[in-house]
Amino acid sequence: MTRPRIALLGRFAEHTSATRYAAVVSARALLESLWLAGAEPVTLLPAPGPEGMDWPARLSGVDGVLLAGGADIDPRLYGESDIHPEVYDVDALQDEADISLATYSLDGGIPTLAVCRGLHILNVARGGTLVQHMDAHHRHVVHDVVVEREVPGFAAGPITASCYHHQCVDQLGEGLEVIGRAEDGTIEALAIDSPGWAFAVQWHPEDTAKDDPRQLEVLQALVAASR
């Protein structure tokens, strides 16, 4: 069976041991988990200008989109001028490309899964805001998330999630529905109003997908919707 092609934007990295210069990368665990789920992952360059944001052309032959984790979004994009000192690695092109791709994929009904920063991107793209730095510790944390209602890829009830984030949703964006929270009330999963399959998780399913069937099911749901 042909693997559906799942596109994700690469992340800018200043240094990697495998390259002599700055790099555009995708997390190996994420790509391997997508492959395990049955997808053919395709990393795209975040590129500037009209050609870079020409998603009808750039997504030709692509069946689904994954909005990956990464660094922080510029708070000015959600109306905040005071920048918390913990905000890190903001990149204007990365933000523009992510928001543009998210908007296009959701409006067009392309099956879309957002992970960590990807959830933040969707929320900001839909007019929502973020907590720039959380008081609660959610980096390198494995905890239960309660999924409040069953949706494709997410059975209702608790799911053990691997988290690495210091920001979270503050004001919820338009067309987003909370379907999962951590015990402390942090929003951890969203259903998104879109003509196609579209969900977002605050955690990283790729961290444990090889050993946890429920995390693999999240990625398999994207693959199934993309067929």
Task: Pick the catalytic residue from 96, 116, 140, 150.
Answer: 116
Task: Pick the catalytic residue from 138, 165, 204, 217.
Answer: 204
CA distance 77 to 65: 22
204 catalytic, yes or no?
Answer: yes
Task: Pick the catalytic residue from 166, 188, 206, 217.
Answer: 206
Strand partners for 157: 147
206 catalytic, yes or no?
Answer: yes
Q: What is the 3-state secondary structure (H, E, C) of the chain?
A: CCCCEEEEECEEECCCCCCCCCEEECCHHHHHHHHHCCCEEEEECCCCHHHHCCHHHHCCCCCEEEECCCCCCCHHHHCCCCCCCCCCCCCHHHHHHHHHHHHHHHHCCCCEEEECHHHHHHHHHCCCCEECCCCCCCEEEEEEEEECCCECCECCEEEEEEEECCCEECCCCCCEEEEEEECCCCEEEEEECCCCCEEEECCCHHHCCCCCHHHHHHHHHHHHHHC
Q: Which residues are catalytic?
A: 116, 204, 206
